Structure formats: C-alpha cells, structure tokens
A and B are shown apart, each in its own frame.
Chain A
Amino acid sequence: MKRSLRVVLLGAAMAIALTACTAPGGSTSSGSGSSGSSETALYGGTMTTAAASDPETFDPAVCTGATCWNIMRMVFDRMYDYDGATSNLKLQAAEDFPTVSDDGLTYTMKLKSGLTFSDGSPVTAKDVAYSYARVLDPATKAGLAEFWKGIAGAADYAANPTGLPSGIVVVDDLTLKITLATPNSSFKYVLAMPAGSIIPADSGSTIATKPVGSGPFTLATFEPGVQVMLDRNPNYWDSPRPYVDHVHMILGVDPDNQVLMLQKGDIDLMGSPIPPAKFLQVTTDAKYKEQIVTIEKPSTYYLTMNMNTPPFDNPKVREAVSYAFDRDGLLKLVNGQGKPATEFIPPGVLGNSGENLTQAQNVEKAKSLLAEAGYPNGFDTQFYAWNVAPFSALAPQMQQDLKAIGINADLQTLAPNTFAELAGSGKAPLALTFWVADYPEGSDFLQALLSCATAVPQGQNFAYYCSPEMDADVQQALAATDPAQATADYTAATKIMLADNPVVPLYFGTKTEIRGANVGNYFPQPIWGWDMAEYWKADGSTARS
C-alpha cells in the first residue's frame, strides 16, 4: 500500500509543479488598436474562441476571472459601457448620462424604454436597484464589493440585507436615484464594471447557473470542461449588433495549443495571452503581420518596499533602491511588452501626469545614498515575486540590479495565491507586483494600492504606505468635477507618494494579441478584453439571412 500512496502524492506534486506554467490570469485586458478585413458589416456565422479554464460562474456580481468576464459582457447590459477601443463611457441600458447633484452626491439615471431581458420581461429601475444592492449583500460573495461601498447606507445594508440600501431609490419604472456617502467622480465607472450588470429582480439564486440578461447574446449551453455556446439575442436593442449568430467557446485549451488552433483556423480568437515561449515566433512571422494587434494596457508593474520592515523604514534606503533598475533592460526580458514607467498611474488613466517622476538607473548615486543611510556595505534582504511570466523573467535581473548597488536580495518565486498571502500579510520586504486598472481613474491605483485604508493585512498595499496628505489629495481629485483639476490633484498625490518611495514603478504594460484571419472589425477593449457585439466574420453575408 505504501507504493499506491506514493503514486497519489507524486501526482499531486506534479500538479503543484505544473502550476508554475500557468499564465497570470489578468482579469482585465486592454488598449486601442484596430483591424478588420472589410469596412461594411457582415452578418452570420459562429465566432469560435478558446479559453484555458472554465468560466467560474455566470453571476456578474461574483465574476472576476478572464473567461467569465468576457461572457458577462456578452450576456448582460450595464447602464454604461466602454466605447469601442477607448476608455470612454458610452450609454448602454441608460437613456442618458447621469444627472449629478451640485454636491456630487446624488446620481439620477434614466433607463432606455422598451428594453427586455432574454426571457421577455421588461428591464425596469427595480431590476437595476436589485442588481446593485445584491453586490453589497455579503451572501453574494462579490469579490469587488468594495467599489460599491460608497453608496449611502451600504454598511447597514450589509449587516441587514433586506429591501434596498438607503442610497438606492427607485423613482419610477425607468428612473433610479443613487446617493453616495462622499463625492466620487469614479462612481460612473463602477457602474460599468461587470458587477454593474443588470439582472432581473430576485433572480440572484439562479443567475449563476441560468443567467438571464438583456445583452447582445444569450447563454445556450454550458458543458463544464468542454464548451460554452452563446446565441445572438435577436431582440437586442442596439440593432444590427451583434453581427455573428453564435459564439462558441472551447474550454480547457492550453495557451500553446490556442496559438496553433488559431493559426490553423480552428478558432478565431484566443482567450489566453500569447505564451512567452511563442511570443517572438508569432509576432515576427510576416504571415500573421496583419493579424497582430498591440494595445496599451492600463497597467503598472512595480516593486514594493515594506516600510514596516528595516532597513526599508529608512527613506534613504528606499531612495537608493529607486535608482537601482534599468527599465529598458527589464523590458527586453519581457519581449518589449511595455514602456518604461515615468510615474505610477499609467497613460490612458485619468490622473497620469505626463511628467517623468521616476529615477533612471544610477548605481553610484544609489551606493552613496546607502552609505548615507548607514549601509556602506549594503545588506541582506528577501525579495518575492510570482513564479510565472513575466515576473519569473524580470525578478532575477532585478536581483542582479540590486546586487550592483550592494543589496543581497534572496529571491523567492511563489505561486500567485501564496504570493498574495505572503505580501499582503506584510512578510515581504521586497515584492514585485502589478496592477491592471479596474476603470480608467487614478484612484484605482493610488487609493486601491497605497492609501492608509489598504495598509492592513490581506490588503493590496504591500508597502504598508500611509500618507494622510496623499489620501487627502486623492479625495480632492474624486470630488473634482473638472478632469483637469482631478489630474492636477492626482499628480500632486503621486508626487507626494513617489517622494517617499514606497514603490518603484518599472513599466507600463502593453498587450499584443493575434486574431484569426477570418475576424472582421476586431479591436481589443482596454478595460474588458473583447467587444463581441462589434466583431463579424470576414466570410459573413452582407444581409441578415
């Protein structure tokens, strides 16, 4: 029997070892690109796609993974959504943009009239109110509930989830009024997140398995581990969209295999990023030149220094580290997928200053700062990173760069969930991490990652940075109605933060995708990934059959 047990454990060990090959599951994708083989819309056909894993759920309040995220956008409508390849909002279920009261607290929104769910029932303000309130109910287990907690009465509702939070009021069948506790100019973007999807009132218990939405597609079949089939919603309000009749999603396809299937024409779009090992081969092949799209992804890759852990409690030490890295050199290691970070908030996100606020590599300067700090001979420390690309490629070089200024960093690469636990609990003196925008507003970077509120165990503030001055500037930016004023406030906040060096911004990410030869009007959406309602098949017909 000993032998049998060993075999079981060996299998488990192999599986654990294999997780090292999993790509980081970026839940959001990116940019601004275009492609398309014909200018006139073509109708019909099936868009075939592949995904590495199953959709975790069809519940929009719960979904955070890349596969279900794409499905959420097909099955549900939100009040507002992102327009084409931009980060600008457009109207979806809403008739007009919200009317915001002078104090910035009350949002009055009107639904388009005549919208229906795929089961035929009308979409009303009551459904919208229910969908939003549900995110705040702890029983829903919504991963991104935090974004909704700015609604007045959210905490009381979470404690006693009956009816609606006091901040959500149904005025009439088509009108909804939302009151916030504090002004928050990014709230309109929250409404465009997957959790803002509109579901029929009281459908919470069945939505995860039998999703009913008012979006461009409806879920036809889901065979776990095998496939998802979506059909065009013939009654979709935004006619003539969607153009294709079906979307077929093949599940459980290894990313390497996805590339081969796409090149062979078996699939039209890849759900996973191009794997690093195949990247240059695919992107430099002249045959696929027309099919390659690179977009700017609103993301920042950065190093955190835990300010509670000596010697990183010393500002001089942190300043020294800010001079340690050669950003161009690091980008070469990730196939050039990005551009050197000039500050913390990436371009395309409100609050990006357009100024260069980072330090170029300067080994001498770094060494003298370390000497001033009392470490003329450097010191030993620990450095943590994910064990998957691109981190596994970056971290060893960063270790060398640190060595050059005298810091001996013991590098540990960990599985993503282990890393999150360790860095979140404050046990990582140095950690290499990244952030992809949930929405294009600076608060999603400065508030979510570096505010005093997040400097707690399990939080995302791996540096445990806390600056009331920076927090105040971010609050001011959120209250600003003028984007130029908001940008100025965010820039001031970023300058305060970067002067303290809790983080070293390394690069802003880009994403390079390959689409199938038969996909028309393709563009990646910077926030969502796909905009399936807009794509068509190049071999489609000119009129709807």
Chain B
Amino acid sequence: MTWWILRRLGQMLIVLFGVVSLAFLLVYAVPADPASTLAGPNASAATIASIHAQLGLDNPLWQQYLGFIGRLLTGDLGTSYVLRETPVFGRIVAALPTTLLVAVGGIIWQIILGVPAGIYAAYRRGSWVDRLVTFLSLIGLSAPPFWLGLLLIYYFAFSWGLFPLNGLGSPVFWYLVLPTFTLGAGGGAWYARMTRTNMIETLDSPFVRMARAKGMPEHVILWRHSFRHIAIPLLTMIGLDFGYFLGGVVIVETVFGLNGIGRLAFDAISNLDTPMIVGTVLFAAIFIVVVNFIVDLLYSVIDPRVRLNS
C-alpha cells in the first residue's frame, strides 16, 4: 500500500512536469509575440522590441525554459504579462472558490439528471420512459454549452427574470443555478447513457436472476445490489469530471461572467499571456491528477476485490 502510494506520487510528478513543459513550449510554438499584444495595436517596432527584451524573450528558449522551471520549483509562477503587477499564483487562488462552487454544482446536476434517469430507463427497458431518456440525452449531448448558456440566460434571466444575468452575488445559490445547470446538462446526458448501459448489463447478470429467483424485493435488487455494481464506473466519471471542472470551465465561466480559473485561462490564451497560461494549465493538471489518485483509493473501499499493491 505504501509502495503503491509512493509510486503513484512519483508518476503524478512526472505527469505534472510533462504537462507544464508542454504548455510552456506550446506557447512558443504559436507564431505570435506577447510583447506586441502588451504594447497595444498602435505601438511601433522599436517599442515592441524594447518590451520584448524587458520580458527576457530575447534569451534562447532553453534559457527561458530553465529559468521558468527553476522559479517553479521555488513555487513562483511569475507575474502576468497582461495584467501587470498581478502574481499568477495569487490570481489563480483568488479564482479558485468560484470554480469550486461551479464544479460541485455541475457534478450535482450531472448526478441528479443522469443517474436516476439511467437506472429507471434500464429497469423499464424499451418503455416510453426509456425512449424519452435516450432522446433527451441525445439533445443534452448535442447542445453546445455556450448555446445552452445563452439560451438559459435569455429566457430564464432576461425575459422571465427568474435568475440573475451575470456574475455572482447574494444569495450565491441563486446565481449558480443557471451556470451549473449549463455545465451539468451535457454531463448528465452522458451519465444517463452510461448508467443505463451498465445497469442493463448488471440486471442481466446471473446474480440478479438468482436474487429474483429467491424472491428478493425489486428495490433491494436495484438499489442495494445492482447500484453498487455501477458505482465504480460512475465514480471514475465523477472523479474525472471533478478534476476537469476544477481546472476551470472555460465556456460556462466566460458566458456567465464568473471569476473562475476557466475565464482566466480563456483571457490568458487570447492575449498570449504565457505565465498565466502555464499557471492555469498547471492547476488544471494538479486537480485531475490528484482527483484520479483519490478515485483510485476509493475503488478499494467500494469494491473489496480491488487491492492497492503492485
């Protein structure tokens, strides 16, 4: 167990190092100069060159890369190129609570929308409910989040005035309903489909037939025995989604004007703000890696057959 954890920690570090290096190098592969973005559209060549030199962008790439890794090891993510005087680390940490709220809300919607529908559709396979769930999940999967978000804003916030239009306020719950639903709708559709497929498989398995044969009540078969079977793939999905959402939900945060990591990443990429791009990617990677680790640990709790050793 200890060995397993140590090995996983080592793997996590390698992944993070790789992700950060790739993010750093990808920004350089883009044929654009951050200095010209900084200097504004009406700047002269001489001014751009001067700013270019001030940012240390004249140094060879390997030198910039080593300097960057060196600072990273001391926990310094640098200062944003675009938002002057803004330390990247502090800015991301400030955006974290909003992203956390949106991520948790999105996961809750996914589970509420997807899991019961999937279970019921599997249980009443071929019924109109099953067909309705399949149809709705198709819509949920196809609807692009920015379109769904704008639609919800237009009707629920603008026309009918049920929810606020933008940002966060008090009570927070009220401001979160639309963005988290937008986030959860697509995922909910996935959950419904996956739950249905796994549940159908489980309900067809010999142990369920055995349970039915000995007269076990249906709700016990469904919720106590079968549900536990689909919990493992479900947990994997929730874990992945949670890690992914915590890394910032670019579209939802931008459309709803939420001050989260996703919007930071969006602005940073539009402006080629290298330190902020690398910082947001690093945070996203950390969340995904850590949540995956936790999910792996939880497997052994849910399924006693899983043993954590090499």
Contact = CB atoms under 8 A, between A and B. Distances in A.
A436 B38 CA distance: 17
A261 B165 contact: yes
Interface of B: 11, 15, 18-19, 23, 26, 30-34, 36-51, 54, 82-86, 91, 94-95, 150, 153-154, 157-158, 161, 165-168, 240, 243-244, 247-248, 250-251, 254-259, 262-267, 269-272, 277, 281, 284-285, 288-289, 292
A253 interface: yes
A103 B154 CA distance: 62
A56 B82 contact: yes
A146 B43 contact: yes
Interface in A438-465: 438, 448, 454, 456-460
Given A15-B265, A62-B84, A438 B42 contact: yes
B259 A252 contact: yes
Q: How large is the interface on A (under 10, 10 to 19, 20 to 34, 35 or more residues)?
A: 35 or more
Contacts of B95: 225
Given A8-B284, A417-B36, A264 B86 contact: no
A57 B94 CA distance: 18
A417 B33 contact: yes
Given A7-B240, A420-B37, A421-B32, 18 more contacts: A5-B285, A11-B244, A11-B284, A12-B26, A12-B265, A12-B277, A19-B270, A27-B40, A27-B41, A57-B83, A141-B38, A145-B47, A145-B50, A225-B91, A226-B168, A263-B158, A421-B31, A459-B45
Interface string A7-22: 1100110111011001
A253 B34 CA distance: 24
B29 to A, nearest CB: 11
Nearest to A149: B46
Nearest to B289: A4
A387 B49 CA distance: 25
A266 B266 contact: no
B165 A144 contact: no
A7 B244 contact: yes
Given A141-B51, A250-B166, A252-B259, A418 B31 contact: yes
23 contacts: A1-B15, A5-B15, A8-B284, A11-B284, A15-B265, A19-B269, A25-B41, A27-B40, A142-B47, A143-B40, A143-B51, A144-B47, A224-B86, A224-B259, A225-B94, A254-B257, A256-B150, A260-B153, A420-B32, A421-B31, A456-B45, A457-B45, A458-B48
B47 A143 contact: yes
A266 B42 contact: no
A54 B39 CA distance: 16
B91 A224 contact: yes
A221 interface: no
A223 B290 CA distance: 30
B36 A424 contact: yes
Contacts of A424: 36, 45
A514 to B, nearest CB: 15
Given A139-B54, A225-B263, A260-B165, A420 B36 contact: yes
Interface in A41-93: 50, 53-54, 56-57, 59, 62, 64-65
Given A16-B269, A146-B46, A418 B11 contact: no
A208 interface: yes
Interface of B is mostly: helix
Nearest to B277: A12
A9 B266 CA distance: 13
A498 interface: no
Contacts of A144: 39-40, 42-43, 47
Nearest to B26: A12
Interface string A233-256: 000000000000000001111101
Contact of A458 (B45, B240, B288): B45
A4 B30 contact: no
B288 A8 contact: yes
Contacts of B32: 415, 417-418, 420-421
A3 B289 CA distance: 10
Contact of A260 (B31, B86, B154, B271): B154
A458 B247 contact: no
B236 to A, nearest CB: 10
A4 B269 CA distance: 20
A336 interface: no
Contacts of B19: 5, 8
Given A261-B166, A458-B45, A65 B40 contact: yes
Contacts of A456: 45
A163 interface: no
A191 interface: no
Contacts of B255: 254, 257
A129 to B, nearest CB: 21
A40 interface: no
Contacts of A59: 84
Nearest to B253: A252
